[in-house]
Amino acid sequence: MTPLRQRFIDDMRLRNYSAETIKAYVNGVARFAKHFGRSPDQLGPEEVRSFQLEMVRQGVCWTTFNQTVCALRLFYSLTLGRGEQLPWIPYGKKPQTLPTILSPEEVVSLLDGARPGRDRVLLQTAYACGLRVSELLHLQVTDIDSSRMVIMVRQGKGKKDRQAPLSVRLLEALRAYWRERRPASWLFPGGRRGRPLAIPSTSRIFQTAVRHAGLSKPATMHTLRHCFATHMLEAGVDLRTVQVMMGHRHLETTARYLHVSTRQLQRTPSLLDRLMLPTPTPPEGRS
């Protein structure tokens, strides 16, 4: 490892960046340097612009594009102390798309399509608590607080702890699962000793359930989190409470689920129904 890379990593560690973010940012700067075959401290705004255009040409998704921009901006401003270059490292405008939402009936079909036992409980927990995949997989047995009917989500996104609701039905499912598997530390342990279930394994579990349920909507594990927020709003839970349960920093992030809540749409008046249209008359000769 080069001293420059180590310094970049140390700079992020000092600011308590997560291991996943550090890895992603280091990979982003490394791809930038590899594209030109030179050390990144020898590259400037013109090379950054050229690299950004190349990512656009390759059709890189905007999430990856902006994550790379974040890495480069941090690297130049923090590690190299060249903050004056930031105006020449712009973010890309990410298209605003609505998330895929499954109806409650489709969620039931999805859960029924999962293999009974660990796989089904895994998906039930993700949906019932609105968890991110990383939060789900890092749950420990001791995070289940049945006396207060909450699940402790420790060090979620932004290094924040929060509590998720624990329903009676989910508690019963978790207890049955524990009696069967007896997990010692991680609630959902993986194949490697002392490690939780891996994200790729979780994705395979989800996609298998999707196929068995016969769902045609494009869905991922994160869809269950979208469904949690939307179904909570449709059930009448106020926006602020949903924000807290989701662990969102800004209320605007949670408010986007109002755009996909059918409850909100059904409250709007039907303009066509309000028009004084004549009642259609059947053609002559027909009753």
pLDDT in tens, 60-86: 988 899 999 999 999 999 999 998 988
Q: Residue 260 pLDDT more than 80?
A: no
Provide the mean pLDDT of the chain: 89
Res. 204 pLDDT band, cuts 50 70 90: very high
pLDDT at 268: 66
Helix, strand, coil percent content, the chain, rounded in steps of 5: 60, 5, 35
Res. 278 pLDDT band, cuts 50 70 90: low
CA pair distance 66, 97, nearest whole angstrom:
16
pLDDT at 92: 87
Write out the catalytic residue numbers. Answer: 132, 157, 222, 225, 248, 257
Domains of the chain: 3-88 (1.10.150.130), 104-267 (1.10.443.10)
CB 117 within 8 A of CB 173: no
pTM of the model: 0.73
pLDDT at 271: 64
pLDDT tens digit sequence for 211-250: 999 999 999 999 999 999 999 988 889 989 999 999 888 8
Q: Which residues of 36-46 are buried (b: 16+ CB within 10 A; e: fewer)?
A: eeeebeebeee
pLDDT at 284: 67
